A and B are shown apart, each in its own frame.
Chain A
Amino acid sequence: MKKYVISGLLALSFVVAGTSLAGDEFEAAWQAADDKRKEAASMKSEWRDTKKMLDKAKQAAEKGDMDAAMSLVAMAHEQAADGIEQAERESVMWITRVPR
């Protein structure tokens, strides 16, 4: 009996450690994506849905759906990075569209 309890507790502690590891990983990825979003915003090039994706990612993580949460964060990160790249490109290209 005692043996079962111990191994049960051990197993439980692995699970807890596992989720909190996934949780830490999520937090870090979320923060990195949100920083990128803010960088895009500072270049006036934030996209419409990036913040929504990050909000949804938080909700998914709270429900424990880490796969969905991580994939939303990845999408948001990519959008923010694309927005930054767009701003860099446009900072030189915009002028070619001015009628003259």
Chain B
Amino acid sequence: MLRKYAILLGAVMALAWSSTYANPEDDRMAFEKYFTTKFPEVPLNDFQNGIYSVDPVARADWEQIEEFPPYELAIDAGEAEYNKPFANGKSYSDCFGDGAVRGQYPYWDSERKEVITMELAINECRTSNGEEPLRWNKGKIAELSAYMSYISRGQTVDVKIPEDDPEALAAYERGKQFYYTKRGQLNFSCFDCHGTGAGKGVRLEKLSPALGHTTHWPVYRSKWGAVGTLHRRFGGCNRQVRAKNFKSQGQEYRELEYFLTYMSNGHELNGPGARR
């Protein structure tokens, strides 16, 4: 009974909170302001360097690592794969042209009524040409993605939410709700760590600010010893708070990517990245 009242009270508070309706652009500006206010010394275009934008000690290590980037082998492997013809004689270039397309993803497909990510498009390119799909999180798909991200460097994040399609906005809203919802036995939302907690430490690691979180994928992590995709990271962060992770490239994570990438609109793509 008490619980019912508590939820009701919460609902009233939440309603009062949300009574002024926000649109995605207002959301994005408030999101950006949250981080630029919290870290006034960090230049706006440095946030895409994640934890290294707010942790000078770790940054020095990282700058050294970037002199001989650990993701270079993955880029080369991805390039070779990109240029290898499929069994039917076609290749990735029949789907993606020169491959410098990272900036076009994720996007809302109004006919299919779903968010299309670059990794999803890579596998659909394969299956529509009679090839087996690749596994989502690492290996070949991350290498292809590393190559395509590399040649897309310098493009600007520009996620669009088509105004003539209310279902696109609904997908964005679901991604947004996912981001702020506490989950798991430890009862944390993404924002609890990467917003409220940004710059603070969890065990030995500091927490990166969420602004710019999507600009540099895939990432070579020392912990993984390889490049991995954004959805692999999502899964890891969910499990970290002892929540069950969701399927890579399932609806939840694609809509999460749609929201989170929109929050970084205007930022420069700088993938692939290197992280601890």
Contacts and interface: CB of A to CB of B under 8 A. Distances in A.
A32 B245 CA distance: 23
Given A47-B185, A47-B242, A48-B244, A97 B191 contact: yes
A96 B180 CA distance: 9
Contacts of B242: 47-49
A86 B180 contact: no
Interface string A69-100: 00000000001001001101110111111111
A47 B244 contact: yes
A46 B14 contact: no
Name the prevailing secondary structure of the A interface residues.
helix
Interface residues of B, number: 40
B180 A98 contact: yes
Interface residues of A, number: 25
Contacts of A48: 184-185, 238-239, 242-245
Nearest to A79: B185
Contacts of B246: 44
Contact of A95 (B18, B26, B192, B239): B18
B252 A97 contact: no
Nearest to A100: B30
Nearest to A85: B3
A52 to B, nearest CB: 10
Contacts of B243: 45-48
B14 A93 contact: yes
A51 interface: yes
Given A93-B14, A98-B22, A49 B185 contact: yes
A41 interface: yes
A95 to B, nearest CB: 5
A90 B244 contact: no
A100 B11 contact: no
A98 B31 CA distance: 8
B189 interface: yes
A92 B14 contact: yes
A100 B10 contact: no
Nearest to A97: B180
A99 B20 CA distance: 13
B185 A92 contact: no
B14 A96 contact: yes
A48 B27 CA distance: 30
B34 interface: yes
B7 A92 contact: yes
Interface string A33-45: 0000000010011
Contacts of A99: 30-31, 33-34, 195
A88 B7 contact: yes
Nearest to B38: A99
A29 B52 CA distance: 49
A46 B244 contact: yes
Contacts of A49: 185, 242
Interface of B: 3, 6-7, 10-11, 13-14, 17-18, 20, 22, 26-27, 30-31, 33-34, 176-178, 180-185, 187, 189, 191-192, 195-196, 238-239, 242-246, 252
Given A47-B184, A98-B27, 11 more contacts: A44-B252, A45-B243, A46-B243, A46-B244, A85-B3, A86-B182, A86-B187, A89-B6, A89-B7, A92-B7, A92-B11
Pairs of residues from A and B, 8 with the lowest C-beta to C-beta distance, nearest first: A99-B34, A46-B244, A94-B180, A48-B242, A92-B11, A97-B180, A94-B181, A99-B30
